[in-house]
Amino acid sequence: MSERLLSVEDAFIARGPGVLVTPRFTAASPRKGKFPVQLRFADGTTRDLLAEIEVAHMRGPLPPFAMVRLHGVLPEEVPAGTEIWTAD
């Protein structure tokens, strides 16, 4: 069953392959490795690709902050408001 991960606020290139998107979120047990997602755009179109959860900061006893890294896409191809859904 598909699950909405987030609605994109910003997309940018950072260290490593792919594109990072915000907002960041807390992840008590982040998913490991790449997994299929579907981008859902405001105009109703979709695009399937791979993503992974990247843990950005450790916060002691609190769950760490994480961000989604998308593969096979450029920042300008992921406008604000795009929804990211799991596709498995």
Q: Residue ranges per domain, the chain?
A: 4-86
pLDDT digits (tens, 9 = 90+) for 29-75: 778 899 999 999 999 999 999 999 998 666 677 777 899 999 999 99
Report the candidate in 5, 34, 19 with the shortest Cα–Cα distance to residue 79.
Answer: 19
Q: Which CATH number fits domain 4-86: 2.60.40.10, 2.40.30.10, 3.30.300.30, 3.40.50.1820?
A: 2.40.30.10
Contact 55, 24 (CB under 8 A): no
Query: What is the pLDDT at residue 56?
Result: 66
